[in-house]
Structure 1
Amino acid sequence: MNLLQNKWNWLILAILPLTFTACKKDAATTPALNNKTTISVENVLNSSSLVESGTFQGTGTPPVILPGQSVSFRFSASIGQAVTFASMYGWSNDLFFAPANPGIALYDQNKKPIEGDVSSQIKLWDNGTRINQKPGSAVNHPGTAENNPVTEVNGTDAQGNTYLPASSLVKATLKYEGDSYFTLTLLNTSGGTTNETPLSPGVWAISYIAGGKLLNPAPIFTSGQPTANGLTQIAEAGNNAPLYTYIKSNTGIFTPLSPILVVVYNGIENPIYNLGEKDRNEGLKDLAQQGNAAILAATLKGKPGVKNVYILPAPGSNILLPVIGNQAGGSVSQELSVTKGDRIAIATMYGFSNDWFFASAGNGVDATQTADISSSIKLYDNGTAIDQFPGAGNSQFNLGGATASQSNPIAEVPNPNPFTTLPSINNIIKVKINVN
């Protein structure tokens, strides 16, 4: 059973309040021309619900974490996001350690990073697929099968076996490294207790957050529901590969696009930006950092050679959402009046970034053609804000942060980049023009 089923409807509603500046469709006034064409822009990104995920394991053979040993993993996270994981209580039939959903909190009520001992957020869970024997090295694996939902073990299991609190067996420590990066260290402290056990290799994950809600608040399991997606292989045998295959398949890119800026011009170079130059302080920064195209549109209307400027918000939501489950991505279109020699350029914010924007490369495209012009779109870094992990940075505007300023030339975003690997541009944004 896929844990992501039936979650997308509320998610779509939750994302709508994202704080891109809403702008009404606008155009500079020019005399009507005979040639009509339509530009359409669509967010075609097949989105993922998890922004980051990974695995951890011990250094020995087999790679378990023995009493007294520890393991650490590093990740980036924004305000409201949480980190979750799962690791087998090795000397049991099907018990595992994990935080309660949605995971370990990373920021406090004052939006300050949390550091130190967070062991109290670790719980012990029964996978519900094997009858529990007395825990210890003599447990017979895999044991007798049963078919129960995942439940928390509080002191005793269904068979009456006793357990210390999970926080007495696993110590979890958070360290904040700055710039939204954390390290979580798990130390096996079960040695010498009545519940001594190795910990198995595990899986960890972080959900995207949009509109103040996590896209996937239960990536690994749901209490009271049957186990799924490879968790059984961890809980019964410490094999993290099947669960990670599932988690990895749901880890990737999620971003809305801000209202689309469209410019029709003639006899000049692309008026939006110039690669290699610094931001002109004409409003592109506002588009790249906050999705606000109004300032740039107003500036462009006063430039010689600019014939028309449009801002195209998606109906109902303003932003262009990506493909979410079976829900098509957001799209906009606009009829344009053009003549020979006219060119078109567009720009829109990569919503879950500090200052990345999609824009027409070079001098835009011929406005009088009928073509799919998606290949002419590139992703650029505006150079005015320090970059963070897209969708997991605490100073990204659409995650409620305030960007940290810098002053660098506009440059194409490399792919792969220091944070992630993006799909090809034409698998994120589709742009077409069609002569009517």
Structure 2
Amino acid sequence: MKVLSFILSVVLLSMLSSCQEKDHAMGQLKGMFTVTVENVSEPYDFFESGAVAIPDDATEAGPATPGNSFTFSFHAGKKHLLSFATMYGISNDLFYAPDGMGIALYDNGTPVEGDITSQVYLWDAGTEVNEEPGVGPNTGPQQSGPNTGPDENGTVRKIADVMDGYTYPPVADNIKVMLTYDGDNMFTVKIDVLSGSSTPISPVAWVVHSAENPLFTENMVDYGDGLEGLAEDGNAPGLADYLAMHSGYVSPVAPVLWVLHHKNEMPIFTEDMPDYGIGLEKLAETGDPSDLFSALEADKYDVGVVNIPEGASEAGPLFPGDMYTFTFEGQPGDYLSIASMLGASNDIFFAFGDMGIPLFASSVALNGDITEYVMLWDAGTEVNEYPGAQTSADTVEGGNVRMLDDGLPWPEADQVIKVTIMKN
């Protein structure tokens, strides 16, 4: 028995020593981690843009003559405006367009529809001296060819303010512009050249925007982005190409919630299951992580929120070029999960998988760019709309949390966000 007791003592001492060594090793690996979250999306100026060059019922590009029309469609949300431009054909540099503000597409959240001709004006681009307009359909301006008229070096003005000595029919005598809402954030515009019109119109360049004056500013010189080519020669693609380079989806990144947990725990959500009801819905729909933070803190998780961009003094989302930084203490066995709303969405959020990612692989700490582990998730709480075209619909979905899969043209996660981690 003494021999057996001695052997057991040796084994117990060995096990104790091994545990102490393991604890000591883990203690050495334990340390502070710093995570940086950046909004790396392109800072586009406009939401959507395009050009229509082929008249309705035609097969080739060209002007729309009296009795014909141009039609184009686009997506837009409640804060968006529409601007477009088309050449007044029998002139040197005149064009039809809304004013610099653009045309509001929603009225208190309700899509605008109907005849919007009254919001369209005849403008002088101020780039070529006006000459006597043609006097009938298809007669053309009184110059020998494109760009042969004398340069004006003027400003963009309503033709009513130019007083060049010539007479121009009211807009409504030449064209009719109708706006239709097609549903699902899509609108259609049809520009009819009336059968009694004195002029054809050129192909149309259009843009959906939030800020004012995307095409020109009244009483200022032409921007030099392609309007001159459209107003003088009907060259819509030139202006459209410029607009396309500056159009696209832009989204802020909402404040980030982070939480440390153990393997196989799913503190924020479970894939293909309904939202837990502890705050993810609020985070995914409004960007506010406070309820989820409180719930996880009450469950004794090591949890935090970062909401002040680097260099800022107040809380707010990340716009393109901004970043958040946060730190925490971690050790082997810890897993990290994050959640942050994709701002220009109804209920989409950034996160790792539902079980997060481990801070250590064996004894090697996670380090470097971990954006590849970030995915876009749909909280399943509100029906999605066209990317960036948020309205006040707020339609309850009653679905499951799942990877984003609605077929709409959302960006990839790494086109919007970059996440890096470093063990200090």
Q: TM-score range by the shorter chain?
A: 0.7 to 0.9
Counterpart in the other structure of 1:29: none
Answer whether contact 2:180 2:188 (CA < 8 A) is retained: yes
1:62/1:34 CA distance change after superposition, 3 Å: closer
Answer whether contact 1:266 1:307 (CA < 8 A) is retained: no
The reply on whether 1:85 has 2:90 as its aligned counterpart is no
Over aligned residues, Cα RMSD in angstroms?
Answer: 2.2
SS of the equivalent of 1:197 reads coil
Counterpart in the other structure of 1:426: 414
Match of 2:251 among 255, 280, 283: 255
Answer whether contact 1:205 1:247 (CA < 8 A) is retained: yes
Name the CA distance, whole Å, in 1 between partners of 2:115 and 2:131. 31
Task: Tell me by how many angstroms 1:299 deviates.
Answer: 2.3
Match of 2:377 among 376, 380, 394: 380
Higher helix share: 2
Answer whether contact 1:123 1:167 (CA < 8 A) is retained: no
Answer whether contact 1:46 1:322 (CA < 8 A) is retained: no
Name the CA distance, whole Å, in 2 between partners of 1:36 and 1:144. 70
Counterpart in the other structure of 2:75: 76
Match of 2:391 among 381, 390, 394: 394
Task: Tell me by how many angstroms 1:413 deviates.
Answer: 2.4
Match of 1:37 among 4, 15, 33: 33
The code of the aligned residue for 1:115 comes to E
Name the CA distance, whole Å, in 2 between partners of 1:418 and 1:100. 36
Aligned pairs (5 A) from 1:21-420: 34-57=30-53, 58=55, 59-108=58-107, 110-136=108-134, 137-139=139-141, 140=143, 141-142=145-146, 143-154=149-160, 157-189=162-194, 191-193=195-197, 196-207=198-209, 214=210, 216-227=211-222, 228-303=224-299, 307-314=301-308, 315-323=312-320, 329-367=321-359, 368-395=365-392, 403-414=394-405, 418-420=407-409
Task: Tell me by how many angstroms 1:61 deviates.
Answer: 3.8
Task: Tell me by how many angstroms 1:341 deviates.
Answer: 0.9
Answer whether contact 1:319 1:330 (CA < 8 A) is retained: no
The code of the aligned residue for 1:77 comes to A
Task: Tell me by how many angstroms 1:62 deviates.
Answer: 4.2
Task: Tell me by how many angstroms 1:390 deviates.
Answer: 2.4
Answer whether contact 2:263 2:355 (CA < 8 A) is retained: no
1:263/1:134 CA distance change after superposition, 3 Å: same
Task: Tell me by how many angstroms 1:162 deviates.
Answer: 0.8
SS of the equivalent of 1:50 reads coil
TM-score (norm. length: structure 1): 0.81
Which consecutive residues of structure 1, in runs of 5 or more, have no partner in the other structure? 1-32, 208-213, 324-328, 396-401
1:292/1:178 CA distance change after superposition, 3 Å: same
Name the CA distance, whole Å, in 2 between partners of 1:406 and 1:181. 21
1:420/1:51 CA distance change after superposition, 3 Å: farther
Answer whether contact 1:94 1:126 (CA < 8 A) is retained: yes
Task: Tell me by how many angstroms 1:153 deviates.
Answer: 0.6
Name the CA distance, whole Å, in 2 between partners of 1:182 and 1:290. 26
Which consecutive residues of structure 2, in runs of 5 or more, have no partner in the other structure? 1-28, 360-364
Task: Tell me by how many angstroms 1:180 deviates.
Answer: 3.1
TM-score (norm. length: structure 2): 0.83
SS of the equivalent of 1:176 reads strand
The code of the aligned residue for 1:350 comes to L
Name the CA distance, whole Å, in 2 between partners of 1:247 and 1:231. 11
Name the CA distance, whole Å, in 2 between partners of 1:317 and 1:168. 54
Name the CA distance, whole Å, in 1 between partners of 2:187 and 2:181. 5
Task: Tell me by how many angstroms 1:387 deviates.
Answer: 1.1
Name the CA distance, whole Å, in 2 between partners of 1:421 and 1:279. 22
Name the CA distance, whole Å, in 2 between partners of 1:133 and 1:54. 30
SS of the equivalent of 2:79 reads coil
Name the CA distance, whole Å, in 1 between partners of 2:297 and 2:410. 36
Q: How many residues align?
A: 377
The C-alpha deviation readout for 1:107-145, integer Å capped at 9, x for no partner, is 23x443222111100011111111112212142233222
The code of the aligned residue for 1:54 comes to G
Answer whether contact 2:34 2:328 (CA < 8 A) is retained: yes
Name which of structure 1's ranges 61-70 and 330-339 shifts more when overlaid on structure 2.
61-70
* Bigger radius of gyration: 2
The C-alpha deviation readout for 1:320-378, integer Å capped at 9, x for no partner, is 3322xxxxx22222221111110111110000111111111353222242221111101
Answer whether contact 2:89 2:140 (CA < 8 A) is retained: no
The C-alpha deviation readout for 1:47-101, integer Å capped at 9, x for no partner, is 2121111112313544221212222222232223211101111111111110002
The code of the aligned residue for 1:410 comes to V
Answer whether contact 1:42 1:320 (CA < 8 A) is retained: no
The code of the aligned residue for 1:44 comes to V
Name the CA distance, whole Å, in 1 between partners of 2:109 and 2:415. 34
Task: Tell me by how many angstroms 1:41 deviates.
Answer: 1.3
Counterpart in the other structure of 1:399: none
Name the CA distance, whole Å, in 2 between partners of 1:431 and 1:62. 47
1:342/1:182 CA distance change after superposition, 3 Å: same
